[in-house]
Structure 1
């Protein structure tokens, strides 16, 4: 029963992380994250910085919830969260739970995307893991 609870909790957190990351990407595209700091000569760097701040703030939420509610299996839970988020990001124009969403996400962002898409791949997949590691280290002190 605990494993089923872990999967259900992780999928719920994954859906929430997907929705919040879409909102953070939209805020970054609208230019509302660093409205006071705009490098007009370097729009790509500004956009990447806005994305890392927006998704970095959003990625703290699943890491904190996993650390609070599943401390014994936190790495398995964050893996399920990241895979569920990748699945939903890859299925934006398809059925939500189509298993090919992970393949589409990896192909469209990492393999055939520009620098912004490649950065988004690493932001979405690595920032929750980084936050969980930071929370784990902070709890040990």
Structure 2
């Protein structure tokens, strides 16, 4: 029964992470996140920095929740959360829980996307893991 609770918690957190990353990507596209850093010389760098800040803040919340509520199985929970968020991102114009969403997300961002999409893939994948490692490290000190 505990595994079922872990999966349900991870899926609920993944829906929140998906929504927060969509908001962060939208704010970055509108140029409202780091408006003082909008450089006309390097627009891609400014956009990537805005995505890094936005998705970094969005990744902190699920990592903190998982660290607080599931410290014993935090790596399983964060893995389920990231995979479910990628599934939802891949199913942007399809049924929400279609299993092909992960394949579509990986294909559209990592394999066939431009440099911004590839970096976005790694932001969504790695920033929750980095926050979880940082929170684990801060708890030890």
TM-score, shorter chain, exceeding 0.5: yes
Aligned to 1:104: 104
Matching of residues 2-13 of structure 1 within 5 Å = 2-13=2-13
Cα deviation per residue 1:46-73 (whole Å; 9 max; x = unaligned)? 0000000000011000000000000000
Aligned to 2:128: 128
Residue 37 (structure 1) shift = 1.8
Q: How many residues align?
A: 141
Aligned to 1:20: 20
Which TM-score applies when normalising by structure 2?
Answer: 0.99
Aligned to 2:119: 119
Counterpart Cα distance in 2 of 1:65 and 1:96: 23
Is 1:93 the counterpart of 2:93 in the alignment? yes
- DSSP-derived class of the 1:40 partner: coil
Counterpart Cα distance in 2 of 1:114 and 1:31: 19
Matching of residues 50-61 of structure 1 within 5 Å = 50-61=50-61
Residue 36 (structure 1) shift = 1.4
- DSSP-derived class of the 1:79 partner: helix
Residue 27 (structure 1) shift = 0.2
Aligned to 2:30: 30
Aligned to 1:74: 74
Cα deviation per residue 1:98-128 (whole Å; 9 max; x = unaligned)? 0000000000000110000000000001000
Unaligned regions of 5+ residues in structure 2, if any?
none
Cα deviation per residue 1:78-115 (whole Å; 9 max; x = unaligned)? 00000000000000000000000000000000011000
Counterpart Cα distance in 1 of 2:37 and 2:127: 23
Moved over 2 A (4+): none
